Amino acid sequence: MTIESEKIVDQVMKDINVVPVVHHHEFILPHDFSDLVVPPKLHITDFVHDVDDEQFTPIHELLLLSQVFLNIGVDAELRLNRAKCSSPLAPALYIFGDSLSDSGNNNFLQTLAKVNYTPYGIDFPDGPTGRFTNGKTFVDFISQFLGLPFVPPYMGLSVAQKNNTITGMNYASGSAGILRETGTALGKNLGLGEQVELFKETVNNYLPKNFKTKDELLQYLSKSIFIVHIGSNDYINNYLLPAPYNSSHLYNPEQFAGILLKELKQHLQELYNLGARKFLVVNLPSIGCARGTIGCVNPISQMMSLYNKGFPSVLQDLSTTLQGSTFVQGDIDAFSLDLGQNAFKYGFTNLLPCCTEILQCLPNIPPCLDRTRHIFWDGVHPTQQVNLLFANGCFNNSTLCTPINVQQLALKQ
């Protein structure tokens, strides 16, 4: 670590009231944090209140320290990234997706897929906002890493606010999918096609007011980052529900995956035609393998794997045919498989949801206290800690996001 980085780490340690002791150790964090050397040892008693001294073994200490340092390290790297540049790494972040990225759009829609109540947002600075987790989403962390503010939900902005917002907008909608009909049994949502239409409205009606010429607007859009993270609901809130949806009666799994990929490709090309050039597009997680399943062979995961198998070729074809474009593939499939089968190495000790055994948390029911030890927040969505891990791996490394990471995408000329 550089001297500047060490100073930032020291400041972060002070912020969370970490007290160094005489003995110093260096711990190399696992997986995506292998290049981050952690500074001095901590007082274990500052973090542990439910384990007797005689029960507390060196293994307990190592696991606890790795979890604490995980938070310290990522926060320090975030501060370091922002300190290195006086301006954001990208002028704006535009987000298209489902409940994994929704920052409050569904609050303004008639739908059952709505979480603008506690305990959702218990760890978010503004409390409940409509985010489907306890704190920050994957895209929240990406925006922070880029040096941008949290991206506001499009549906929550007034016309005046839309005219003045140039750091990005979030069009993601809980229960939405690539297909327009996906998730509509729960009520209104913004499918991917509608999200692209809203972005077109943004480009045509609101953004031009902030630029002198069309060329300046196009230059701004070419440097902005576009995240597309959607598709799971096309299975869990469409194809796998034969009563309200007829897709499984019309298409076999191979055909359905092909339809989704064709539709995705079309919408990505539409974004390109509107000025987008830098894309992060995320594949589908292994939903059937989510809770620590070893081996992970089941009908749902096999079905969704058909989509993931065809996914890279779609992005490669677009990269080849769309001049000046760059497509980064986010591999949440590999991440979710590794997380489900090796939760312990990431510091997760509880595979049960933090707030409920059903799909959504019940209003005003207190959640678990050890939220950093849980993979799942509710019956479907990950905790803030999982979002942080995926965001950091995608931003700083080229294993979860390929062929380049998000930081490299932002800096690419």
Decide if pLDDT at 71 tops 60. Answer: no
Decide if pLDDT at 254 tops 70. Answer: yes
Mean pLDDT of 69-83: 42
R_g (Cα) of the chain, nearest Å: 21
Decide if pLDDT at 48 tops 50. Answer: no
Q: 296 falls in which pLDDT band (50, 70, 90)? A: low
The reply to whether omega before 119 is within 30° of 0 (cis) is: yes
Question: Residue 80: what pLDDT?
Answer: 41
36 in Cβ contact with 71 (< 8 Å)? no
Q: Give strand pairing partners of 23.
A: none
Candidate from 7-16, 278-287, 357-366 with smallest mean pLDDT: 7-16
Highest mean pLDDT among 48-52, 163-167, 332-336, 398-402: 163-167
83 to 89, 144, 230, 294, 377: CA distances (angstroms): 11, 12, 32, 42, 32
- Say how many C-beta atoms besides its own lie within 10 A of residue 336's C-beta: 22
Mean pLDDT of 323-341: 93
Which residue is it, tokens 């895209």?
A: 139
> Which string of DSSP letters, residue by residue, matches 155-220?
GG--HHHHHH--S--B---TT--SSTTTTGGGB----HHHHHHHHHHIIIIIGGGG-SSHHHHHHH
Average pLDDT over all residues of the chain: 82
Residue 193 C-beta-side C-alpha neighbours within 13 Å: 9
Mean pLDDT of 245-268: 97
Question: Residue 340: what pLDDT?
Answer: 82
Question: Residue 357: what pLDDT?
Answer: 64
CA angle 184-189-192, nearest 5°? Answer: 105
Q: 261 falls in which pLDDT band (50, 70, 90)? A: very high
Decide if pLDDT at 14 tops 60. Answer: no
* Per-residue model confidence as pLDDT tens digits over 179-189: 999 999 999 99
Cite the active site residues: 99, 378, 381
Assigned token pair, 232: 């799971």
Assigned token pair, 174: 């809980």
Of residues 74 and 325, more confidence is placed in 325
The residue type at 259: I
Q: 222 falls in which pLDDT band (50, 70, 90)? A: very high
The residue type at 302: Q
Going by the DSSP 8-state scheme, the letter that residue 362 receives in this structure is P
Question: Residue 85: what pLDDT?
Answer: 44
Cα 106 to Cα 125: distance, rounded to the nearest angstrom: 19
Decide if pLDDT at 57 tops 70. Answer: no
Question: Residue 358: what pLDDT?
Answer: 73
Q: 300 falls in which pLDDT band (50, 70, 90)? A: confident
The full length of the chain comes to 413
Mean pLDDT of 274-292: 83
Cα 74 to Cα 11: distance, rounded to the nearest angstrom: 13
Cα 252 to Cα 110: distance, rounded to the nearest angstrom: 32
Q: 297 falls in which pLDDT band (50, 70, 90)? A: low
Mean pLDDT of 265-284: 98
